[in-house]
Amino acid sequence: MGVIVADRITAEAREHLTRSGWGWLDLRGHLRLAAPGLLIDADVPALSDPEPDRSGLVGQVGIELAALLLLEPAKRTGVRGAAATLSRAPSSVSDAFRAMRAADLVDNEGTPAVPALFWELVERWKPESRDLAGLPQPNRGRDNTALGLGLDDVESTTGWALTDTVAAATYGAPVGMRADHPRDFYVPDRRILRRAVQILGPATTPSSRAGRVRLAPVFLACARRVDGAAWAHEHWPLANPLFVALDLARDPGRGREILGGWTPMKPWHRVW
């Protein structure tokens, strides 16, 4: 087994090395070694100084901008347009663009480098989550209002968004699952995350888990939802395929294998 050691190994390079059977050590703080009877895939103490000017995604604005660009990869997005959509200062968005260009994640026109930007975003995609003992039910008016489900006018409002395995299957990704597979949802903010646990109850064991709520790392995950009721047997609002893919990509084995065989239907884009 060969091992690559470097100050910085991009997400795309990590994926290529893993598929090729190489181990690697990113001196910023991650080690992966795989051999018969051995698997190490863990964060380790950083051995190199951070390089903020070449980190690619700088802070929360960088994460939000990356998601915005990947949602419409063929669209030319400027600083002021992105700042207005993200409700961020143009100076912050300009800094985020500058860092992405330095890392070759966007070109001078603001067009994202695909799939490099996607895999860089995967490294930063770490949603906070809570397991639930139950799921929301119809006709529970006060509770459902408190939970902020957003079941009316799905594509023009903000609310819960179904993601991960069940959403991937709904979009036609090659994923196998049971009919009663637990649902995973993005919720817009921490207040709703807490209320979901209070109202629906926490799951105390894996077998008692009915679903999971995740705090959306970017507001777009809950604001750019898809109503699949007309073409799918799924009544829950769906997260955009981009965010579903980001969830799958966090699983270095099964999830990434699914992504390899999944190209979402139009009008959505494969950016992985």
Predicted confidence at residue 52, as pLDDT, reads 46
Residue 265 falls within a domain, yes or no?
A: no
- Same domain for 149 and 226, yes or no, is yes
Residue 272 falls within a domain, yes or no?
A: no
Residue 268 falls within a domain, yes or no?
A: no
- Same domain for 254 and 164, yes or no, is yes
DSSP letters, 40-109, are EEEE----S---GGGSSS-HHHHHHHHHHHHHSTTS---HHHHHHHHT--HHHHHHHHHHHHHTTSB-TT
**Peptide bond preceding 267 in cis form (omega within 30 of 0):** yes
Residue 59 falls within a domain, yes or no?
A: yes
CA dihedral (92, 67, 106, 19) in degrees, to 10, reads 140
Predicted confidence at residue 49, as pLDDT, reads 54
- Same domain for 138 and 238, yes or no, is yes
Q: Quickly state the pLDDT bin for 6 (edges 50, 70, 90).
A: confident
Q: Which of 24-38, 61-75, 177-191, 248-262 is the least confident region?
A: 24-38
Distance CA(59)–CA(87), nearest Å, equals 15
Taking only the tens place, the pLDDT of each residue in 128-166 is 999 999 999 877 778 888 999 999 899 999 999 999 999
Residue 226 falls within a domain, yes or no?
A: yes
- Same domain for 38 and 93, yes or no, is no
- Same domain for 117 and 206, yes or no, is no
Interval 160-179 mean pLDDT: 94
Judged on CB neighbours under 10 Å (0-12, 13-18, 19+), 117 is: buried
- Same domain for 177 and 237, yes or no, is yes
Predicted confidence at residue 88, as pLDDT, reads 96
Predicted confidence at residue 80, as pLDDT, reads 96
- Same domain for 189 and 116, yes or no, is no
Which residues, in sequence order, are CB contacts of 71 under 8 Å at separation 6+? 220, 224, 240, 242
Q: Quickly state the pLDDT bin for 53 (edges 50, 70, 90).
A: very low
Does 44 score more than 90 pLDDT? no
pTM for the structure as a whole:
0.80
Q: Which of 181, 176, 183, 178 is nearest to 238 (CA)?
A: 183
Interval 46-60 mean pLDDT: 68
Residue 93 falls within a domain, yes or no?
A: yes
Residue 106 falls within a domain, yes or no?
A: yes
Interval 120-126 mean pLDDT: 94
Q: Which of 8-22, 116-130, 140-154, 202-216 is the least confident region?
A: 8-22
- Which whole-number Å values give the CA distances from 85 to 90, 184, 251, 258, in the listed order? 11, 26, 30, 31
- Same domain for 158 and 177, yes or no, is yes
Number of C-alpha atoms within 13 angstroms, CB side, residue 72? 11
Number of domains in the chain: 3
Does 170 score more than 50 pLDDT? yes
Q: Which domain holds residue 110?
A: 52-124
In the listed set 124, 159, 181, which residue is the last one of a domain according to the structure?
A: 124
- Same domain for 141 and 245, yes or no, is yes
Q: Quickly state the pLDDT bin for 18 (edges 50, 70, 90).
A: confident
Interval 201-209 mean pLDDT: 91
Residue 189 falls within a domain, yes or no?
A: yes
Amino acid at 140: R
Amino acid at 261: G
In the listed set 124, 159, 186, which residue is the last one of a domain according to the structure?
A: 124
Taking only the tens place, the pLDDT of each residue in 219-230 is 999 999 999 999
Other CB atoms closer than 10 Å to residue 148's CB: what's the count? 18
> Maximum CA pair distance of the chain?
59
Predicted confidence at residue 203, as pLDDT, reads 95
- Same domain for 137 and 195, yes or no, is yes
